[in-house]
Chain A
Amino acid sequence: MSTRGSGTPIVAGQQSAPVSFISGTDGSIRRRLFLSRVFSWTCRFVTYAALAVLIVLLAAIIWSSVGRLAFDFVYNPNSSNPIKAGMLAGLWGSFWLILFTALFSVPVGVGSAIYLEEIAKDSFFVRVIKTNISNLAGVPSIVYGILGYTVFRSLAAVLKVWFDGQHAFNILGLFRLRLLKLPIYEDNILVGALTLTLVVLPTVISAAQEALRSVPSSIRVASLALGATRWQTIWRQVIPAALPGISTGVILSTSRAIGEAAPLIMLGALTITTMVPGNIDSPVKLITRPLQVLHAPLDQFTAMPIEIYDWSKRPDPQDRFTAVAASGIIVLMLVLLSVNAVAMVVRHYASRRLKW
């Protein structure tokens, strides 16, 4: 706002403004200042419209959820009765999915980032990998769903034949008889998690790369000068120094998988089910039922966003499932919010130890 009013000493209303050669305007100074002010208010309006949209969105969802949102929503299974329908199956499905997605994507993603930032020299192949990762980040998630359906689901089908079929050397089947006595499915948690891993991997890699890049190179040079090998330098100096950044970035980018529905629907994940993976419907059973825990990754699943999609689309004359869908959205957003909070806490505590 420093320019406001500063133009008045120059005579207004003249035909050609003295400064017009740089901006090409031929209006009076007053008009140009007015234009500038209008523009600044437009930009401000547009920016704060984002805040308004966010508030309206949240208000609309909370308002729509009236009539269903209650504590039993979290521990009821899905139901065709909108008063009873709950999100238990979706919550557990999403829990298992995100657990395995993190298990797959964190080592691979951080490993790739370390290779690209710390080890790779600028060769043709490395440039190919870098271009490729940035292109993969732009691939729609539904395309990964096609890949998962065709590759991972087919692999799971082979596994299923080994487990269930009358195979001549049915070693895995014996293993199953002994331990699980539970069916294996094609559209299981592992297939979903592998697909989601591919979806989030490009973002995980670039988040980890950014964290590694922020480590000052003096640390590397000092370590190498003292006789450490490249890997010793990475493992004992660079990774601890980059850990707050890596963990925050990786948690945030992996958590995007919680909201992904499209690739899972492509895989043929269940949309309407009361079934919980491995029949583990309470945290206590994670400890008391070890065999069911083993079975859960090979069980069918649904996920929170899939259930929300189903409830939103359900043709119901009285729109009774709107409140159910809105309640589901609130639970999903609360989960996302708590993951983000965890990321912030991790960053806070991990960065406290660092001093340079």
Chain B
Amino acid sequence: MTQAKLPAWAIRRISRRYEKLIQAALFLCAALSVLTTAAIILVLLTNAVYAPGAKTAFFERVSFWEFVTGTHWKPVDGQYGRFGIIPLLCGTMMVAGIASLVSVPAGLGAAIYMSEYAGPREREFLKPILEILAGIPSVVFGFFALKFITPWILKPMFSLVGIDLQIFNTLSAGIVVGIMVTPLIASLSEDVIRSVPRSLREAAFALGSTRFDVSVRIVVPAALSGILAAFLLAFSRAIGETMAVTIAGGQQAIATLNPLQGAQTMTGFMVHASTGDSAADSISRMSIYAVGIALFAITLAINVISGWILRRYREVYQ
């Protein structure tokens, strides 16, 4: 070791400086995430709200009021362009709503089953299945919705009652997004359900409760804050879901609440607009930033509320 030849004070000084340097580098790594958030907000604001320099931002050309309340979305340059986000919002909320209808009962049921009913062996078998389901890419689910669920399941079902289903429809998109977020709800809820102390269950069983009573009247209420937080997180994930929705939901931006029709979502529009060949500072391309702000704000708000519920209403057991 060469260090052994140096006097002790020199070693101390060198190692202290080295230590400080490494700590600073590690700090920079961690601070990068703050920088990312700042950059996202800055990029969205400078292109949507106020652009410094020669560019004109989206809201300097389209009024904020028109954007929020307009019911027509025709993102074309020139005088025929209409920029009301309501149609996109309808599409997004419909997909997320249908996804919740699928994933909330499925995810919660799976969480209850795995924590209250399944033995350790069965859990070890079931958990990887949910993980695999969670790891399947979004495009795959889009393909599944468009090429299998719509033509082979939904279309025959609806033709029995005499309803014609469009090839692109929000129903199939919502169903696959629901399948995608079910593992998220299941694993988050299972974590909180398992953290409910055993003594509560044992007390209830001792007083003559059935398993149903214990699950629904003791365990779920005790874990309610965590379960609600999981629902909200899954809802925001469903709102931000892109590829599956773009493939299965179609690209017609119409303000409708009919799930049998196709409807463009916010994310679907962003993909569609960026594959087009409009100029970089045209209003049709700048509208991506405005929709992006809406998407970012909505998902962030839901995530923050979810975190707040988790902290505020957490039941603390000793």
- Could you list which residues of chain A lie within 8 angstroms of chain B, going by C-beta atoms? 3, 7, 18-19, 22-25, 32-33, 35-36, 39-40, 42-47, 49-51, 53-54, 56-57, 60-61, 64, 107-109, 111-112, 114-116, 119-120, 128-129, 131-136, 138-147, 149-151, 198, 201-202, 205, 229-231, 256, 258-262, 265-266, 268, 271, 305, 308-309, 312-313, 322, 325-326, 329, 332-333, 336, 340
Contacts and interface: CB of A to CB of B under 8 A. Distances in A.
Given A50-B133, A265-B274, A265-B275, A312 B212 contact: no
Contacts of B124: none
Nearest to A255: B135
A61 B213 contact: no
B281 to A, nearest CB: 12
A61 B140 contact: yes
Contacts of A150: 43, 47
Contact of B143 (A46, A132, A312): A312
Given A32-B213, A39-B212, A54-B129, A138 B33 contact: no
Interface of B: 15, 18-19, 22-23, 25-27, 29-34, 36-37, 39-40, 43-44, 47, 105-106, 109-110, 112-114, 116-118, 126, 129-130, 132-133, 135-140, 142-144, 146-148, 152, 179, 182-183, 186, 204-205, 207-213, 215-217, 233, 236-237, 239-243, 246-247, 267, 270-271, 274-275, 288-289, 292, 295-296, 299-300, 303-304, 307
B143 A201 contact: no
A115 B148 CA distance: 47
A47 B43 contact: no
A140 B295 contact: yes
Contacts of B292: 142-143, 146
Given A23-B209, A133-B33, A326 B143 contact: yes
Contacts of B29: 107-109, 111-112, 115
By secondary structure, the B interface counts as helix
Contact of B210 (A35, A54, A120, A261): A35
Contacts of A151: 39, 43
A112 B28 CA distance: 8
A265 B136 CA distance: 19
Contacts of B241: 140
A240 B241 CA distance: 37
Contacts of A149: 274
Contacts of B243: 261-262, 305, 309
B299 A138 contact: yes
Contact of A135 (B271, B274, B304): B304
B36 A136 contact: yes
A114 B28 CA distance: 12
A56 B141 CA distance: 12
Nearest to A134: B307
Given A47-B109, A50-B182, A143-B295, A138 B303 contact: yes
B39 A119 contact: no
Nearest to B232: A138
Contacts of B270: 142, 145-146, 266
A189 B34 CA distance: 24
Contacts of B138: 259-262, 305
Contacts of A116: 30
24 contacts: A3-B205, A22-B204, A35-B212, A40-B211, A46-B109, A50-B106, A54-B133, A61-B144, A64-B148, A112-B32, A129-B33, A136-B33, A138-B233, A140-B267, A142-B270, A144-B40, A146-B292, A149-B274, A231-B19, A259-B135, A261-B242, A262-B267, A309-B139, A340-B135
Contacts of A340: 135
Given A47-B113, A140-B267, A305 B33 contact: no
B113 A43 contact: yes
Nearest to B183: A50
Contacts of A119: 23, 26-27
A47 B126 CA distance: 8
Contact of A57 (B31, B47, B144, B213): B144
Contacts of B271: 142, 262, 265-266
Given A39-B215, A205-B33, A229 B15 contact: yes
Contacts of B30: 111-112, 115-116, 120, 129
B109 A42 contact: yes
A125 B308 CA distance: 19
Contacts of A7: 208
Given A36-B213, A142-B270, A266-B270, A114 B26 contact: yes
A149 B273 CA distance: 13
A146 B289 contact: yes
Contacts of A120: 27, 30
A111 B26 contact: yes
B267 A129 contact: no
Which of B205, B209, B239 has the most chain A CB within a 10 Å cutoff?
A: B209
A60 B212 CA distance: 36
Contact of B135 (A36, A115, A329, A336): A336
Contacts of A18: 208
Nearest to A49: B106
A182 to B, nearest CB: 25
Contacts of B242: 140-142, 261-262
Given A33-B210, A230-B19, A308-B140, 6 more contacts: A43-B113, A45-B109, A146-B40, A259-B139, A305-B137, A326-B143
Given A64-B147, A261-B139, A265-B271, A135 B37 contact: yes
Contacts of B217: 22-24
Nearest to B41: A147
Nearest to A22: B207
Contacts of A128: 34
A147 B43 contact: yes
A308 B132 CA distance: 19
B303 A3 contact: no
